[in-house]
Amino acid sequence: MDTLKEMVQTDATHTIGAAALLGILFHLSIRPIEFEFVMFHFMAGSLLSFGGLIFAFVRLSEYGVLGGFMKASLFAGGFNAGLLSSIAIYRLFFHRCRSFPGPFRAKLTRFYAANLSAENVQYYKELAKMHDKYGDFVRTGQREISILRKSAVPLIYGPNSECLRSTWYGQTGNDPKKCSIHMTRDFNDHRMRRRAWDRGFSIKALATHEPRIKAKADFFMSQLAKSSGKPMDMSAWAIGVEHPAIKGVHSHMAMLGIMSTVPWLLNVLGSIPGAAAGYSEFFSFCAEQIREKHKDGEKIPQDIVSWLLKAVKDKEASASPSPAALEDDSRVVIIAGSETTATTLAGGAYYLAKCPEKQKKLQKLLDQAMPGGYGQWSCDAVKSVSYLDDFINETLRLKPALLTGGPRETPAKGMHVDEVFIPGNTNVLISTHLIQRDPRWWQEPEEFIPERFGEKRTEMGTDKAPYLPFSLGMCLRLPGKNVAQMSQRTSLSAIAQNFDVSFAPGEMGEEFDKEVLDAFTVTLPPIQLQFTPRKRQ
Ligand code: HEM
């Protein structure tokens, strides 16, 4: 054993030194590339190299397997020490973002954000603390700046923005031909694919959604009527009866939220065979839905996925480029469409209960538009009640379904946000939750005042305030907003027409208001509400 130790220790310093140097050179050589995308290959390669080193030391020298293993370990240790020290020194002292203030550990690694997020899955609160401490520009990752400036909103998310989607959008895979539109990073590919979605959300297509949304609202009303006056957890009810496959995904949302703070982590896990087994049921469910729709062969597509399928069948340039991409698109429809709509509806019901005078006002206006009651409900009548939209807009201001906008990457030349220059190829993002409550732009920011989107618009300066619950890109301009608006209008008006909403005894709404989880989309704490059938005068 002693001889073995001697053998390994004799030239340990040289081994470690050479390996560390190699580690530094490796770091310098990979700096220009988006290493997140090859992280899995790097890890797999490292393991193979380690095995190869042991083999080489055993075969090419007098070491036994244990000696070879120790020698290889020394080499790997030296390499990693060199690599990590070089990365740390570079990130702290030479990185283009070095002048931005932020927590020390955030400058070194995104695992800092993952750690903060893992504590309570409330990274948005941590972000608020960082902005309080460091100001409007905070370095929240080695190359990530969180910004709280109104002027940054169009620069980062606007239709003419020069920023592109960051590596965060590479989490589900590296192949642009196999991913959903949401994860498509190339500007032109994205624009092309949007055309297929446009058709699914055109005015004509929306007409086919209307009766289906109304039928769902009717069913919801009948369920509320059954439990009339008894406490109900609105957070659970808004999600509705979940298909078991979708339930599986929802139960993993918190974990996804934490892991997605490190852009390459999900990518690496997804590349490990079997690691995504928890989602396999959901994946098969989506694939099955598409197969069924293929068989259906509807002449006029009745829903969004059918429109996407039609584009594939018609071999349009805008079609999802592969079966895998089409399935991923269908997953986006389910997750992006259901989760966001449900949390917004629960938020709306919460504000009906919290602000009885606003509820009364809404009910009065709905009654005026439809004097015959719910039996007289129509889309056009509901649209005429602009206060309903103001109510929904204010709900989305205080309770956006996505608390933080997805990170974007600045163009290589960098960009200015007011007086501050943000270097090129830097990830930038804006906290929707923070900027929509910022007192610099929003009067009485913590108060629920739907009138700020209506008659008090000018007085309260709403048009000049930053507002981006649908981001400023595609969800705002095309798909989500129209459908979301239609379903919010339908369900909220139906609730307000049929029921008086109040907090159940003992419910203060505090936890619902203050303790939401940031799991990419919002996960709501329970809220016990009472829906008492209205006595119409
Ligand atoms: C209240 C409801 C909704 C809210 C607040 C909302 C919000 C958002 C936001 C903030 C984004 C941008 C995400 C990012 O930048 O990474 C987004 C994207 C998206 N949403 Fe929505 N959404 C809602 C409902 C819907 C619905 C009902 C659908 C469709 C069925 C939908 C489809 C999409 C799609 C396809 C994208 C990706 C767009 C793209 O890649 O350009 N959303 N949504």
Question: Is residue 120 included in any domain, yes or no?
Answer: no
Question: Is residue 50 included in any domain, yes or no?
Answer: yes
Q: CA 75 → CA 57, 64, 114, 317, 425, distances in Å? A: 11, 16, 29, 51, 33
- Indicate the SS3 state at residue 287: helix
**What is the pLDDT at residue 1?**
45
> Position of tokens 């957890």?
233
**What is the pLDDT at residue 475?**
55
Tell me the CATH number at 281: 1.10.630.10
Tokens of 10: 């004799």
**What is the pLDDT at residue 58?**
84
Question: Is residue 160 included in any domain, yes or no?
Answer: no
Question: Is residue 158 included in any domain, yes or no?
Answer: no
Structural domain harbouring 70: 1-94
Q: Are residues 447 and 331 in the same domain?
A: yes
Query: Residue 518 phi/psi, 5° resolution?
Result: -100, 85
Cα of 336 from ligand 1 centre, angstroms: 5
Q: Are residues 448 and 314 in the same domain?
A: yes
pLDDT, one tens digit per residue, over 370-417 is 999 898 999 999 999 999 999 999 999 999 999 998 899 999 999 999
Among candidate residues 72, 94, 116, the one where a domain is terminated: 94
What would you report as the CA-atom Rg of the chain, rounded to the nearest whole angstrom? 27
**What is the pLDDT at residue 359?**
98
Q: Do residues 410 and 428 touch, judged by C-beta distance below 8 A? A: yes
Question: Is residue 111 included in any domain, yes or no?
Answer: no
Burial of 102 (0-12, 13-18, 19+ CB in 10 A): buried
Residues of the chain with pLDDT under 50: 1, 3-5, 7
DSSP string for residues in 306-366? HHHHHHHHTT-TTS-SSHHHHHHHHHHHHHHHHHHHHHHHHHHHHHHHH-HHHHHHHHHHH
- Ligand 1 atom closest to the Cα of residue 483 is 27
CA nearest neighbour of 239 among 335, 158, 338, 164:
338
Q: How far is CA 60 from the centre of its chain?
A: 52
Burial of 287 (0-12, 13-18, 19+ CB in 10 A): middle
Q: Are residues 440 and 527 in the same domain?
A: yes
- Ligand 1 atom closest to the Cα of residue 194 is 41
C-alpha span between 487 and 209 (Å, rounded): 9
Question: Is residue 147 included in any domain, yes or no?
Answer: no
Sequence-distant (6+) residues with CB within 8 A of 112 are: 103, 105, 106, 141
Q: Are residues 304 and 444 in the same domain?
A: yes
Q: Are residues 407 and 518 in the same domain?
A: yes
**What is the pLDDT at residue 4?**
44
Q: Are residues 244 and 375 in the same domain?
A: yes
Tokens of 477: 């301009």
Q: Are residues 186 and 75 in the same domain?
A: no
**What is the pLDDT at residue 333?**
82
Which helix (H) or strand (E) segment holds residue 398: the answer is helix 386-398
Residue whose Cα lies nearest atom 34 of ligand 1: it is 475
C-alpha span between 180 and 328 (Å, rounded): 5
Q: Do residues 397 and 467 touch, judged by C-beta distance below 8 A? A: yes
Question: Is residue 380 included in any domain, yes or no?
Answer: yes
Residue whose Cα lies nearest atom 32 of ligand 1: it is 480
Q: Are residues 285 and 177 in the same domain?
A: yes
Sequence-distant (6+) residues with CB within 8 A of 274 are: none
Among candidate residues 39, 70, 94, the one where a domain is terminated: 94
Q: How far is CA 533 from the centre of its chain?
A: 36
Q: Are residues 71 and 173 in the same domain?
A: no
> How many domains does the chain contain in total?
2
Among candidate residues 94, 129, 147, the one where a domain is terminated: 94
Cα of 437 from ligand 1 centre, angstroms: 21
**What is the pLDDT at residue 239?**
65
Confidence (pTM): 0.89
- Ligand 1 atom closest to the Cα of residue 402 is 10
